[in-house]
Amino acid sequence: MDGMAATLITRWFDGRSPRPQAVTLRIDGGELLLRTQDGAVEHRYPLARVRWPERRTHGQRQTELPDGSLIQHADAAEWDAWWRAQGHREGVVVGWMQSWRATLVAMAGTVAFLAAAWVWGVPWLSSTLAHLVPPSLEERIGEASMSQLQSIFLTPSELPQRQQDALRQRFAAVVKASHPEGDAPPWNLAFHKSEILGANAFALPGGAIVMTDDLVKMLEDRPDALVGVLAHELGHVQHRHGLDMLVRSSLVSALIGVVLGDASSFLATVPATLVTQSYSRDAEREADAHAAEMLHAGGIAPAEMVVFFERIQAEERQCDADADADADHDAAEEGGDVLPISIASHPDHAERIRFFREWKSVAGS
């Protein structure tokens, strides 16, 4: 009985003939003994060099031998019984693969890992990579972004040059007052007209800040509020929020660009990212806090920013009131939300109004 259990009749392909031969298999010490039924051929193979099949629910068992020949056994249950009779046991991994409970646990673990990586890992990695980007590359990214946006959204400003210069000087004075050590991030303010963006402002990696003519006209009587908007955008530049967003949305190409210095694939994704992605709420809160600190240091009450958000809200309500049909309503919505990184494209106005109205400096609290 023991001898019968230790021997298995199966099929062997010798690698030379397409026809299988009937053979017997037996484990003899540390070797697999293969013998044709007529006894004419006998081979011995070290067990460690035999590629044993993994147990599966269905299908035949196939074993690869060191000389390139092959064993195929159609009766999987018979093979498994013979295998166990030799005192062999499956590895832990194979056992897990055969267990539906273990499979469910593995699937749940995978989902949990991916969720944790998305919630914590990706933001940490993207922020880390964003701060590793050298200034020269950041400037190239900003230039490429501006070039694309000028061809899509922006036209030359129609504001008088004197008005533009006055606002630049007003903002420069606040930047100097809030960064007395001269550690302010680089910035370059440009004014543009945009029928699509309306009253808006946004910042690009490298320090380019764009403010539209419509926004200047909307707050013409409240220049301090315009300075507050610019301070908010400089906050995005300071904390590299734009780079963080770009890296997060195209992590693989960004990683290659940072590590290898070849940013061509990363730069190619910038335009699409700018028109589809937006800053996170945390990034907006950080930029708002930066704006409040700058205004306070420059002798301007942070509550001046409330005027901006209140007028943006009023403009949005007017657009909704003027929309008589669904198509008109869609067009009105698109007018202010085309570029998600624009300051007027974020819906949490009430929270931000409350923040600037109630803001108090850390030193004064």
> Are 181 and 234 in a shared domain?
yes
> Are 119 and 257 in a shared domain?
no
What would the pLDDT profile of 100-112 be if each residue is shown by its tens digit?
A: 676 677 778 767 7
Which range has highest mean pLDDT (5-19, 76-90, 109-123, 297-311)? 297-311
CATH number at residue 47: 2.30.29.30
In a domain, 364, yes or no: no
What proportion of the chain, given as a percentage, has pLDDT over 70? 73
> Are 205 and 324 in a shared domain?
yes
Report how far residue 107's alpha carbon sits from residue 124's, in angstroms, rounded to the nearest whole number.
24
149 compared with 345, residue with greater pLDDT: 149
> Are 167 and 309 in a shared domain?
yes
- Look at residue 279 in the predicted model and tell me its pLDDT: 82
In a domain, 331, yes or no: yes
> Are 126 and 191 in a shared domain?
no
Report how far residue 292's alpha carbon sits from residue 120's, in angstroms, rounded to the nearest whole number.
28
> Are 156 and 33 in a shared domain?
no
Number of independent structural domains in the chain: 3
> Are 83 and 182 in a shared domain?
no
> Are 177 and 285 in a shared domain?
yes
- Decide which of 111, 131, 151 is a domain's last residue: 131
In a domain, 288, yes or no: yes
Give 3's pLDDT tier (boundaries 50, 70, 90).
very low
Rounded mean pLDDT of 149-171? 94
Residue 194 in this model has a pLDDT that exceeds 90: yes
In a domain, 365, yes or no: no
Show the beta-strand stretches assigned E in 124-182.
155-156
> Are 189 and 126 in a shared domain?
no
Rounded mean pLDDT of 281-295? 93
Report how far residue 136's alpha carbon sits from residue 115's, in angstroms, rounded to the nearest whole number.
34
What would the pLDDT profile of 212-257 be if each residue is shown by its tens digit?
A: 999 999 999 999 999 999 999 999 999 988 888 777 766 655 555 5
For all residues of the chain together, what is the average pLDDT?
81
Q: Which of 152, 289, 285, 176 is nearest to 228 (CA)?
A: 289
CA distances from 265 to 87, 134, 212, 232, 239 (A): 56, 17, 30, 30, 24
This prediction has a pTM of 0.62
Q: Which domain holds residue 117?
A: 99-131
In a domain, 363, yes or no: no
